[in-house]
A and B are shown apart, each in its own frame.
Chain A
Amino acid sequence: MAILTETTEGPLVLSVEQVEEIGRELDALRARITEDLGAGDREYIYNVIRAQRGFEIAGRGLLYLGFLPPFWLAGVAALSISKILDNMEIGHNVMHGQWDWMREPTLNSRVFEWDTVCPGDQWRHSHNYMHHTYTNILDMDRDIGYGILRVDEAQSWNVLRLGNPLYAFILMVAFEWGVMGHDLEVENIVRGKKSWSEIKTLVKGQMRKAGRQVLKDYVVFPALTGPLFLSTLTANFTANIVRNLWTFSIIFCGHFPTGVQTFTQEECAEETQGEWYVRQMLGSANIKGSKLFHIMSGNLSHQIEHHLFPDLPANRYPEIAPEVKALCEKHGLPYNTGRFAKQIGSVWGKLFKLALPPFLVKNSQQAGVIVMRRVQPTTASPKEVGV
């Protein structure tokens, strides 16, 4: 792993006071944005929703002329855009509670559902709670490898890891199904940590949600186009795949490019708010791009800002990004960002590299930043964390 901030003397060390100051500055930034939310933000999310519904209706309509290849392609494109907007800038962000402040019963995080096979309530548990609270903590954050991939050197290697890139490819193509299965924690059942009976209700919920999604895309809409049944079915299937490739790519760029740091449970015990913020910044990575690119990625191209403030409306991330970056620079912290090609290339490079046994690849497991922690009343000497 490259050490972005390594100085000639070694990794960057943050003092307790520095961490506290970072925490204070980020709290103040959050308060300022929260205070400023209003009619303009409301208009933004409704515009996105309007666009998504428009693309969806256009896509469904175009497929009635799906026997003509340009119309079929246009239909697939419109549906893909609709599903991407629905999942990213709308679904993901609404279910984070980003729009709860509007008190709009239909855009409340508790009740919102999105256009994918994963039921919202299960995603809220595995993603909003587990992943966002325990970001990049090994064996706590299940997004590290999604239970199947080796994305960090601290995960042990065995011969099955040779299939790492293949598993990643399969996960990418079937991403919505992978996300759906995420909350089941199948690997914990295999390890005997979780019983089958515990997951029964989860599976029931998944069958209900996935059933409706499958019925819609692969039965009802194809049937409604009559003789074009197969043409519509393949178009819907393609749109779902396009969405999967895109969401996988954006999400993997968020935490797995070179330069992001992982943590152990001991390092993060009894964290202060400032330490939590620093972990979020070190464990996330951004993607540079145009305004349209940011919207299509649900602003997860601002993953660092999203992880600092998961409940702030995503349309505000571009505005606060320069301030977060300046804060990082002020304290010598890395601000991991790059063009999409660079970040996704780095992700796949890692997936290939970590497939190989450690003796074949140079171990670069080294922290770029070390966070000094306040002396605990029970410990005799200062505890160094982050190595």
Chain B
Amino acid sequence: MVGLLDLVSKTMTTPHPLDRYLELVRPTLTRRSMRAEITHVRRSAVGSVTLTLKPGRQWSGHIAGQYIQIGVVIDGVRHTRCYSPVNADTRRDRHIELTIKAHPHGLVSNHLHENAIPGMVVDLEPAAGVFHLPQPRPERIVLISGGSGITPVLSMLRTLANEGYRGEILFLHYNRSPEYVPHRQELEAIAMQHGNVRVEFRYPETQRHANFGYDELEALAPWFPSAQTYLCGPPGLMAAVRTVYEAEQLGDRLHSEEFTLATAVVNPEDAEGKLTFSGSGVVAENSGETLLEQAESAGLSPEYGCRMGICFTCTAVKRSGCTRNLRTGELDSDPDQPIQLCISAPVGDVDIAI
């Protein structure tokens, strides 16, 4: 009977899914596509904005450290970006809290920083990622972050604090200056309330603090070799921490998540880099030709039609990297975007899902 009802309701709206009708009534009414409504907007730290999102009933929560993908419309175009929720994963009201730093070239982060208001609706994908705390919890935990890399480890810290975690925690965060640290007062409050939590901020640019190094870590948490360490930050910090852990042969106790800016600045004339066709496992050196030509030279036979950009037969998904539209000259470094292979050329490393 349920099957019959399902068939009838599907047939009624064919060829369009039911959601394409529901979303016209209210964007959050959809059954399959998940959306979230922004309920609160707070601009606390300099250059950052904190959003509270109320997700649709499809939302099944996140594990502290994971990320979500949101979709935002800017000037008619939908852009998707990944952010790590900063709230504890035990939050009862099912809300999601995002703290977003406005990066200098960050289209979405700047847009949200300037324009986010309660009532705004964004697309939402289920939480994903393997950078998260294990169950059962480790006995000792080191959380190291830099800049906007604070978000996943902040969620971890809040989760542990909520749980009444008894083990030792070091929370070490690097930033430009105190006013740039999001949730600084709350972090300090957590440290005050929980004797087992040590929260440390470092501002190397102000010269009072050095960059990350062994001595620093040893001084703050001499027990760190027996801890599990979670690290997220800019490349320099990531490298410095890795160097220390590898020298101590603690590589397997260090868990990290890269965060890269989607808008990598590239020189359009560059015909360098690796071209990966991840659907077929083929890798080639970028020759500067169109993606279609390069795929064919690499022995693949993707579908194509007009070879002049009008029929959209060769559209394929670019997983990552920057491509240049040869008709418009436009550069595109958004991940997971459908692009036309016959009029796109790779700029640097590119991954195409064919």
Interface set of A (CB-CB < 8 Å, partner B):
30-31, 34-35, 37-43, 49-50, 53, 57, 96-97, 100-106, 108-110, 113-115, 124-125, 128-129, 132-133, 209, 212-213, 215-216, 220-221, 224, 273, 276, 310-311
**Once bound together, how far apart are the Cα atoms of A43 and B79, in whole Å?**
17
Question: What are 13 A-B pairs with beta-carbon distances under 8 A?
Answer: A41-B76, A49-B20, A53-B20, A103-B338, A106-B33, A108-B338, A115-B15, A128-B305, A128-B312, A212-B14, A220-B12, A221-B12, A310-B311
A216-B311 contact in complex given A41-B76, A101-B77, A129-B306, C-beta closer than 8 Å: no
- The distance in angstroms between the C-alpha atoms of A195 and B93, with both chains bound, is 61
CB distance from B111 to the nearest CB of A (A): 12
B193 at the interface (CB under 8 A from A): no
B60-95 residues at the A interface, CB under 8 angstroms: 73, 75-80
**B1: interface (CB < 8 Å):** no
Q: Are B78 and A103 in contact (CB under 8 A)?
A: yes
Tell me the complex Cα distance, A113–B24, Å: 18
Asked if A97 and B24 make an inter-chain contact with CB atoms under 8 angstroms apart, the answer reads no
**B315 is contacted by which of A100, A132, A221 (Cβ under 8 Å)?**
A100
Q: Write out, one digit per residue, whether chain B residues 300-339 have a CB within 8 A of any chain A CB (1) or not (0).
A: 0000011011111101000000000001100000100110
CA distance A211 to B79 in the complex (A): 36
Contact of B11 among A103, A113, A114, A215 (CB under 8 A): A215
A103 B312 Cβ-Cβ under 8 A: no
How far, in angstroms, from A42 to B77 measured CA to CA in the complex? Answer: 8
Q: Which residue of A lies closest to B305 (CB)?
A: A129
Pick the contact of B313 from A35, A57, A102, A124 — CB < 8 Å? A124
B16 on interface, CB distance cutoff 8 Å: yes
> Are B11 and A42 closer than 8 Å at their CB atoms?
no
A310 to B11, CA, bound (A): 31
B313 adjacent to A129 (CB under 8 Å): yes
Nearest-Cβ distance from residue B134 to partner chain A, whole angstroms: 34
Nearest A-chain residue to B330, judged by Cβ: A34
Residues of A within 8 A of B78 (CB): 102-105
Once A110-B312, A128-B311 are accepted as A-B contacts, the answer to whether A102 and B14 lie under 8 Å apart by CB is: no
B336 to chain A, nearest CB (A): 10
A53 to chain B, nearest CB (A): 6
Residues of B near A276 (CB, < 8 A) are: 308
| Bound Cα distance from A101 to B308, whole angstroms | 17
For residue A105, which residues in chain B have a CB less than 8 angstroms away from its CB? 78
Q: In the assembled complex, how far is the CB of residue B319 from the closest CB belonging to chain A, in whole angstroms? A: 15
* Chain B 11-50 near chain A by CB (<8 Å), digits 1 or 0: 1101110001100100000000100000000000000000
Cβ of B298 within 8 Å of any chain A Cβ, yes or no, is no
Q: When the two chains form their complex, are residues B312 and A124 in contact, meaning their CB atoms are under 8 A apart?
A: yes
Nearest CB in chain B to that of A280: its residue: B310
B8 interface residue (CB < 8 Å to A): yes
Known: A31-B328, A50-B24. A113 touches B310 (CB 8 A): no
Q: Is the CB of B76 within 8 A of A311?
A: no
- Which residue of B is nearest A103, CB measured? B78
How many angstroms between the C-alpha atoms of A352 and B33 in the bound complex? 52
Measured CA separation A279–B148 after assembly (Å) = 54
CB pair A97 B308 closer than 8 Å? no
- In the complex, A33 Cα to B126 Cα: how many Å? 36
Point out the residues of chain A lying under 8 angstroms from B305, CB to CB: 125, 128-129, 133
- Known contacts being A109-B315, A216-B14, is A40 close to B21, with CB within 8 Å? no
- Taking the closest CB of chain B, its distance from the CB of A125, in whole angstroms, is 7
The closest CB in chain A to the CB of B79 belongs to A103
B266: min CB distance to chain A, Å: 20
Complex Cα spacing A104 to B327, Å = 21
Q: Is A311 a contact partner of B308 (Cβ separation < 8 A)?
A: no
- In the bound complex, CA of A42 to CA of B78 (Å): 10
The answer to whether B308 touches A133 (Cβ under 8 A) is: yes
With a CB–CB cut-off of 8 A, which chain B residues contact A35? 328
CB-nearest residue of chain B to A115: B15
A106 to B21, CA, bound (A): 12
List the B residue with the shortest CB-CB distance to A54.
B24
In the assembled complex, the Cα of A233 lies from the Cα of B20 at a distance in Å of 25
Q: Complex Cα distance A104/B20, Å?
A: 12
Please give the distance in Å from A88's CB to the nearest CB on chain B: 15
**Closest chain B residue to A44, Cβ basis:** B76
Give A310's nearest chain B residue, CB to CB: B310
Query: What is the minimal beta-carbon distance from B36 to any residue of chain A, in angstroms?
Result: 16
User: A133 contacts B310, CB within 8 Å?
Assistant: yes
Contacts of B80 in A (CB 8 A): 103
Q: Which 8 A-B pairs have the closest CB atoms?
A: A129-B305, A113-B15, A42-B76, A97-B312, A129-B311, A133-B306, A128-B311, A39-B76
